[in-house]
Amino acid sequence: MQIDWHKNPLIPVIAQDFETNDVLMLAYMNEEAYILTLNTGYAHYFSRSKQRIWKKGESSHHTQEIKDILIDCDGDTIILKIKQNGVACHTGRRSCFFTSVIQDKIILDQEVDIDTIYGVVDSLYHTILERKHDANTTTSWTQKLLHDKTLLLSKIREEADEVCVAIDIESDEQVIYESADLLYHTLVGLGYREISPDRVKQELARRFNMSGIEEKKSRKK
């Protein structure tokens, strides 16, 4: 069975433990990610949030070794039989499927500290997204911001101004404190738009070794 990448440029991929058959995660592949997976023997995916190819475990080193690749009868879905090194989920759990609807509770414990793997910015961003989609949380400041765009935008403006004041006349500690506030509220803004901070990092990387004049000329009108 061949995959028609022109018809299906992005297809769902189920990662399944090759020994236990446990379903660990679902992601997506384009043709480039599929070829990289075949050639390297490790799972590569296309991240819709990061808008780029990513090797599973590129940050955490929790890679997925390919044991087999199964394509369904329509040629538009893949099962990867894998050996999971470490955990599959960005929350630090073995599987991404850890919330039981019937039992109304989390059924898998966190196995690793995600802050040490992904860094505090990525961990905070994922927490913000969880708040956004958590209907049971009613006292969260983050969720309040996410559901009130006017408040969110006013807070970003306010925190940016406070950073400017701190840099101008206040202590280093206050500059750090205000900058942390601005970064948090900016991440909430990215979460509101569901734009991964990885895309900001990609833009900074693009600008590296580029003069400010060149960068402005390169911007899309």
pLDDT digits (tens, 9 = 90+) for 7-24: 999 999 999 999 999 999
Tokens representing residue 125 in the block: 């961003």
User: In this predicted structure, what is the pLDDT of residue 214?
Assistant: 63
Query: With bands split at pLDDT 50, 70 and 90, how would you rate the model's confidence at 217?
Result: low
Within 97-151, strands assigned E span 99-100, 105-106
**pLDDT digits 0-9 by tens, 33-86:** 999 999 999 999 999 999 999 999 998 999 999 999 999 999 999 999 999 999
For 119-218, CATH gives 1.10.287.1080
Position 219 confidence tier, pLDDT thresholds 50, 70, 90 = low
163-182: per-residue pLDDT in tens?
999 999 999 999 999 999 99
The pLDDT score that the predictor gives to residue 136 is 67
**Residue among 5, 84, 9, 2 at smallest CA distance from 43:** 84
Q: Return the structure tokens found at 155.
A: 């807070």
Query: Which residue, 95, 114, 35, is CA-closest to 69?
Result: 35
- Check pLDDT > 80 for residue 114: no
Cα 23 to chain centroid distance, Å, stands at 20
Helices 120-132 and 197-207 cross at an angle (nearest 10°) of 140
Superfamily of domain 11-105: Phosphoribosyl-AMP cyclohydrolase (3.10.20.810)
pLDDT recorded at residue 170 = 97
What percentage of the chain has pLDDT greater than the value 90? 79
H or E segment at 64? strand 64-71
Q: What residue spans define the domains of the chain?
A: 11-105, 119-218
Could you tell me the pLDDT band of residue 2, with boundaries at 50, 70 and 90? confident
Q: pLDDT tier at 112 (50, 70, 90 boundaries)? A: confident
Q: What is the token pair recorded at 172?
A: 């280093």
Q: Is the pLDDT of residue 203 over 80?
A: yes
- Examine the pLDDT at 212 and tell me if it is beyond 60: no
Cα(first)–Cα(last) distance of the chain, in Å?
Answer: 44
Distances (CA, A) of 86 to 23, 37, 95, 142, 144: 15, 18, 10, 30, 35
Residue-level pLDDT at 78: 98
CA distance 170 to 180: 15
Mean pLDDT check: name the lowest of 47-56, 112-121, 139-148, 185-194: 112-121
In the DSSP assignment, the letter for residue 11 is E
Residue listed under structure tokens 């900001």:
200
Q: Band of the pLDDT at 220, cuts 50, 70, 90?
A: low
